[in-house]
Amino acid sequence: MNNGLLKQKIVNAVLKQLPEQLRIPEDEAMISWWLNIRKDGGLRLSDVGDQVFKMAGIEFFEFPMDPDTHDSWVHVMIDLNNKLTAPYHITLISKKLPTIRIYDSKIAMMIGLYGNIFEYLKSIKNKR
């Protein structure tokens, strides 16, 4: 399934979890909830999307993204875009320590087993 269809399914499922007064049309949600709205774009949530997922009570797991454990943020972002098959959001708790919030318990468990997001990303092949 391509990311465009997956995003659409996710949006519809999350919209059903929201109270009626917070629901917006699907096309508006598709534009405002995802950081990359292209059909082949990854599943990174915008700040709005992250807030909506939290309001809908979607379970998430947070992991630190230690900036000293990788070569380049650009490569990490490309890997996340190409390999991660669950919605995620990157946030800064402090100026020095970004975290990644994963909205999928199976992927979160695998990240925990590998020790961090970087080792997990190294372990999987590109989904494209």
43 and 79 in a single domain? The answer is no
- The CATH code of the domain that includes 71 is 3.30.70
* pLDDT tens per residue, range 25-64: 999 999 999 999 888 889 999 999 999 999 999 999 999 8
Identify the H or E element spanning 63: strand 61-64
Range 35-39 contact pairs with CB under 8 angstroms and sequence separation of 24 or more: 36/81, 38/4, 39/2, 39/3, 39/4
* pLDDT tens per residue, range 3-22: 889 999 999 999 999 999 99
- Tell me which residue range forms the domain holding 112: 61-123
- Which residue among 14, 33, 55 closes a domain? 55
Rounded Cα distance, 18 and 102, in Å: 19
71 and 118 in a single domain? The answer is yes
Is the model's pLDDT at 70 over the cut of 60? no
Looking at the chain, the whole-number percentage of residues with pLDDT higher than 90 is 63
Predicted pLDDT of residue 66: 74
Asked if the structure places residue 128 within a domain, the reply is no
**Mean pLDDT taken over the chain:** 89
65 and 106 in a single domain? The answer is yes
